[in-house]
Structure 1
């Protein structure tokens, strides 16, 4: 989606889970608790947009949901299908995806939405969420928090991979593209026996009320917004936003 995107972990998805370890008590566990509290408990249907390696989809399936996972990265989907062949993975772009069905719950985790940069494309992503939602569908979004620490100091600075087959460390530098409301991360990898490698990712930053405005324009009502996976009330000063919304069944508004 971003022509400037280069990411070692997208090219080598087998390393992704080494760099970003996760447990069932983290983000998917939070989703499961909130879905149960707000009317979409398992068993039910769930669509994960930006599913990556399928780790979260595996958790949701184990929790009793009938799941479909979609990602725009061919390498990610290929790896997910090989590692988790019992799950349903598709290649698709969240701006244009249309599966022709609705789900009880829709998730978009791992800052996947933040790879969408323009306002028009954000509206298209919201249209995709709405197209796969029926009245009462719950949507859960996980995005960087624009009002946390604007220079990126709250975000991960050091990365490491230590497996029998591959070792590497990286330092990340963050800067703001204020005009375009982007957090730009440059990450320099040191890999024994190889030349240094640099990857480059840009994340769209959304403020809480701004994100709520996009959701409202497409028929969603925000039920809760947190900056922590314990779903504890706070001043939203944390590095990420965890947003739960419900689709009301209204036809999405037209946007450019």
Structure 2
């Protein structure tokens, strides 16, 4: 979880074109959605960056298990409801016409058993004719162990260097991020540990099937990571 870096999240991912992604997401939703409403839930919403654009088309809400990211999201969108919850087992006592889980947030469920639980939970919150969009994390066959990664932010009042070397345990990718952050208050160093499960297409297909959802796979998706599109009869 982004316990220590939540305040830096948007700076670190400032390269990401949320507006362009949302246009693609909206087009896919309109293509596949059969329900008449426009209620949307962003699961694993993070700081609410996608909701900034999704709220132009839908009555949007967010859900996340990271309190620090939710705090940023609530400050950004004071009029929008954000829920604290685990995507594998939340209960909001209502349904939505659209449920999205983007930027590989699904990887944080880690195990196949929790992936199946998550799809059941999402399906329970989906209205008949509704659509689910899930952007996956890497599959086990393409994740490269021992690869060094670096993100550098060089703004006038903020300098960030984030580095890690990709590791793996079973089908779980291990990301131990090392941060060096400079602000007017000084220089800080800290680490964060992230674990994301890597699921095959077959495992996703089974999870959708067990949740009684029809599923198609979009190879490209919105950002080159692929996209699972599920619909509820």
What are the ranges of 5 or more consecutive residues in structure 2 without an aligned counterpart? none
Give 2:153's match in structure 1, choosing from 140, 150, 161: 161
TM-score (norm 1): 0.80
Q: Quote how far apart the aligned CAs of 1:45 are.
A: 1.0
Structure 1's 228 and 126: CA in aligned 2 closer, same or farther, altered over 3 A?
Answer: closer
> SS at the partner of 1:137?
strand
Partner SS, residue 98 of structure 2: strand
Aligned-CA RMSD value: 2.4
2:133 is aligned with 1:140 = yes
User: Aligned partners of 2:28 and 2:205: how far apart in 1?
Assistant: 18
Alignment partner of 1:170 is 2:162: yes
* TM superposition shift of 1:12: 3.6
Q: How many residues align?
A: 229
- TM-aligned CA distance change 1:43 to 1:156, over 3 Å: farther
Aligned to 1:242: 227
Separation in 1, partners of 2:160, 2:36: 39
Give 1:126's aligned residue. Answer: 119
Q: Is the 8 A contact 1:116 1:204 kept in 2?
A: yes
Could you tell me which runs of 5 or more consecutive residues in structure 1 were left unpaired when the two chains were aligned: 231-237, 249-256
How far, CA to CA, are the matches of 2:174 and 2:192 in structure 1?
11
119-128 or 167-176, larger mean C-alpha shift? 119-128
Indicate yes or no: 2:181 matched with 1:191: yes
Deviation string, structure 1 residues 170-203 (Cα, Å, up to 9, x no partner): 222101212xx11111222223453532222111
What is the aligned partner in structure 2 of residue 254 from structure 1? none
Bigger mean CA deviation after superposition, 98-107 or 161-170: 161-170
TM-score (norm: length of structure 2): 0.87
Aligned to 2:32: 38
